[in-house]
Structure 1
Amino acid sequence: MDWFRLYAEFSTDPKVQMMSEAMQRRLVMLFCLRTAGIIPTTDDAEVAFALRVSEEDLAKTKELFVSKGFIDEIWDLMNWDKRQFSSDSSNERVKKYREKRKAMGLTSNGYTKHIETVMVRDGGCCVYCGSDKNLCIDHAYPVARGGNDDIENLVAACKSCNSGKAGRTPYEAGMSFLNKRTEAIWNHWIKCNGFSNALEQIQNRTDTEQKEQKLSARHDSRAKPVDESPVVISIPLNDSTEFPITERQVAEFEGLYPAVDVRQEFRGMRAWSLSNPTKRKTRSGALKFANAWLSKAQNEAPQPSQRGSPPRGPTSKTGEAVMKLQGVINGNQLDRNRDRQGLAGPVVLELGSPAGA
């Protein structure tokens, strides 16, 4: 019975999962047709019949799959041979493995003396996927390809990864080392033993990783710097978490709102949030809330008079009352002086002006 490998990433690949279920089914059907040898040696009419779609729907399907890089113009699936590696059966592979070991003068169980050391070195986990279940020893460079029992060529692997590797190097199988220390040890061993194809794979992988590191560094340089200053206070949020306010943020707010005691106002914000749990803000709205609060406090704060400018008169209701009382006192004193001098007529005063002015 013919079969093909369907990888778990099918369920998470955005290129696949952004398609409708009908299109996903058609893609799987193409896998089946390719395994059966029907495509790419057939015409569009036969593909349409196999998928049970009209020629119009087939044209839309082909356009979509070509744009996503799943197929080419003749319905051949891209990277099919690489993804669908044809490995030997388990019995055949074991037979070849034993024959190769015998030809190289290796004993049938020569690597077993290293099992405990390798497991300790690799942390008791598969170096490829990190699983700690069903572990075995894998020859990273296969014995059938000339690998040996050197401890540097032995790694801990789960049986699933070991089987999936299927007589290939990890790089040929598209597998990555999660354990970078073990990968470095193996890469050094590869270089020392002169396996040219593996050296080329390592160089290609190194070039790719360097490009990824440069892109990552470029992205990091554009990222907003992290505020590592101490937290002064925090504001309770509507999801029961706290929004931290740092020393750097307080200093920035103090520059923006000079007439406000910023630290005291943040204490007020915290007290208000604790007293009004149903009105607490979201994390994305916390700084907007703080800005609105501080802006209101700035507008309500007493504004200092400009230096060198004359007084502008009363600045509060209390000041007005004091000036009015002073005017009454001055007016009464002037009336008594005029009575003693025999003068008559009303006295006209300007509010707050000195008597006799």
Structure 2
Amino acid sequence: MKLKALIVDDEAELRRSVISILQNMQAAENISFEFAEATNGLEAVEKTKNEFWDLILMDVKMPEMDGLTALQHIKENDPRTFVVIMTAHSNLNDAIIAIKDGAYDYVEKPVSADKLHAIVKKSIEAKKMVQDLTASNPIFDDDIDSEIVGNNLKMKEVFNLIYKLCKVDTTVLIRGENGTGKELVAKAIHFNSQKKAGLFVAINCGAIPENLMESELFGHEKGAFTGAIERKIGKFQLANNGTLFLDEIGELKPEMQVKLLRALQEKKFTPIGSKREVKTNARNIAATNRNLEKMMEDQDFREDLFYRLNVMPIFLPPLRERPDDIIELAHRFMEKFSKSHKKIIDTV
């Protein structure tokens, strides 16, 4: 695998040290780096305007433009770039801010070869997962708003809620029958929010076998159980700084409800077979067509999990309650089919 890496620091000696560490890990990880250097944040931003970088390792305290400001511009230029922040122990608060703003991880200075190796290896694995996910489930910003159709008063209320939720980072529970567009609403919230630079990661809680659900959500280490032939990054980690969409949340078994609740409360989790806790800054959006209140009465759904998820509820009306939207939907489908089949379809 060939990767382009940009090393950003005002100290030439540190840049050389980082490059040396990455060069030494190339053979072990079967990768090849193409290196470039920048002496400050402004120079780094300029380099990302017309050129894609797989990995950027960047200091925080630099002249002309600091690393935190540069990070925002870099993510605007291309949100796919993985940025690792380098910071002194006394400035760890900067690292936390950077991660909230889209940095993948941070490493303390002076840079430890083992620590940097581990972080870069982890970022490469995550990058591959991102590429696989994007290839199998392409998402286009231009299509998000146009996918939700409705001029009915009830739908206008939904649009108003979506607009408000885009501006705040809070947990959302979307409720509605099958086919009402719950995932479209979740995507609209994500792609119009501050989390849009991160991934929108969806998981159908009703489609994953019970014995695999924990691994899907939290990941596992190689050899953690029979069949775990390689390390797996879970959906929670993949959605860090983005949005995790928990579809069919009412199908989650009681044992997993407990583990999910803990992850939501503590904003961290432990992959299967690991001793290391992983922090997550993902926004959580859940959806269901089930009657959760009845499930709580029957003790099939935890009350504490319900209130953790139901911070901001959205109820989607079925089409039979908004018949005035049928014509607009028909026109939208005709436009879509005309585009996909490359011919004019103007009648149903």
TM over 0.5: no
Q: Which structure's residues are more often strand, by fraction?
A: 2
Q: Which structure's residues are more often helix, by fraction?
A: 1
The TM-score with structure 1 as length reference comes to 0.26
The TM-score with structure 2 as length reference comes to 0.27
Q: Which has the higher relative contact order, 1 or 2, with Cα contacts under 8 A spaced 6 or more apart?
A: 2
Q: Of the two, which has the highest radius of gyration? A: 1
